[in-house]
Chain A
Amino acid sequence: MHAYANPARFLKIARPLTPVFLGLGLLLVLFGSYAGLVLTPPDYLQGDSVRIMYVHVPAAWLGMGGWSGIAIASIVQLVWRHPLAGVSARAIAAPGALFTAICLITGSIWGRPTWGTWWEWDGRMTSMLILLFLYFGYMALANASDERTSVSRATAIFGIVGAVNIPIINRSVVWWNSLHQGPSITLRGSTISSEILWPLLPMVIGFSLLFGGIVLMRMRANLAEAKVEARMRRMAAS
């Protein structure tokens, strides 16, 4: 892992990888959207509203995956003091918050024709809303420091403690009775018909690649800004 601790080495890999992630991600999302909107049949119970699943599920996956990434990066920063861990955690926060918000709003839009309500204070929606507030808190803490290539110890600990919410979100539909459907995709398979399910795969991979591309661009921006600030400080001192 420390082989990539050098920002110059990281940038050598990140520069060609960024357009690959973005290009491939965009192609998969466009194809998945076309498949989800045109090629798949409507659900026998939910009708056409089931097509919202193709944007709602990847957004939920990225909201939760983003915070898992922050927690892992925070552990790596605190334990191994990897110089890129703080940069990556900081870069994940904004797109993670965005996809959590998209998940909440698309879920609300999906809920209206399916459940007859925009919002329900149940375990899944409330824990997802808490995740959004955790992202806001993390961004506020991270931005409180001028350091661009790291986050403070308190911010890293916040990133780790906040991860407690991830299994709560995951198990909420099992623990509490809710309007939200139970887990329909598990390691043992899916309860969703395969002719409706298949576009979800290109959508999840495509959005994940776009998320990766966004994180790489934000990491590159933070590293470049840190380099300029360091050079300015040296010039001012000499």
Chain B
Amino acid sequence: MNHWAFIAAAYGLTALGTVGVLIWSYLDMRRAEKAVADLEKRK
């Protein structure tokens, strides 16, 4: 049995999940911190 298809699936899924949660968390942080900055400018 060729194992490389299984290895590619495992690494691909790990990369996809990790990058996905990284981008999601980064965008959430940027949006929230921008909202604070905008609010402070309005003061």
Contacts and interface: CB of A to CB of B under 8 A. Distances in A.
Nearest to B34: A224
Contact of A217 (B10, B28, B35, B39): B28
Interface size of A as a range: 35 or more
A43 to B, nearest CB: 10
A24 interface: no
B36 to A, nearest CB: 5
Interface in B1-43: 1, 3-4, 6-7, 9-11, 13-14, 17-18, 21-22, 25-26, 28-29, 31-33, 35-36, 39
Given A95-B21, A228-B39, A221 B28 contact: yes
A54 B42 CA distance: 49
Contact of A22 (B10, B22, B36): B22
Nearest to A215: B25
A148 to B, nearest CB: 9
Contacts, number: 89
Majority DSSP secondary structure for residues of A touching B: helix
A110 B39 contact: no
Interface in A204-238: 207, 210, 213-214, 217-218, 220-222, 224-225, 227-228, 231
A178 interface: no
Instruction: Tell me what chain B mostly uses at the interface: helix, strand, loop, or mixed.
Output: helix
A48 B4 contact: yes
Contact of A51 (B7, B26, B31): B7
Nearest to A56: B10
B28 A218 contact: yes
Contact of A52 (B10, B17, B33): B10
A210 B6 contact: no
Interface of A: 22, 29, 33, 37, 47-49, 51-52, 55-56, 59, 94-95, 98-99, 101-102, 105-106, 109-110, 112-113, 207, 210, 213-214, 217-218, 220-222, 224-225, 227-228, 231
Report the 4 A-B pairs with minimum CB-CB distance, sorted nearest first: A224-B32, A48-B3, A217-B25, A49-B3
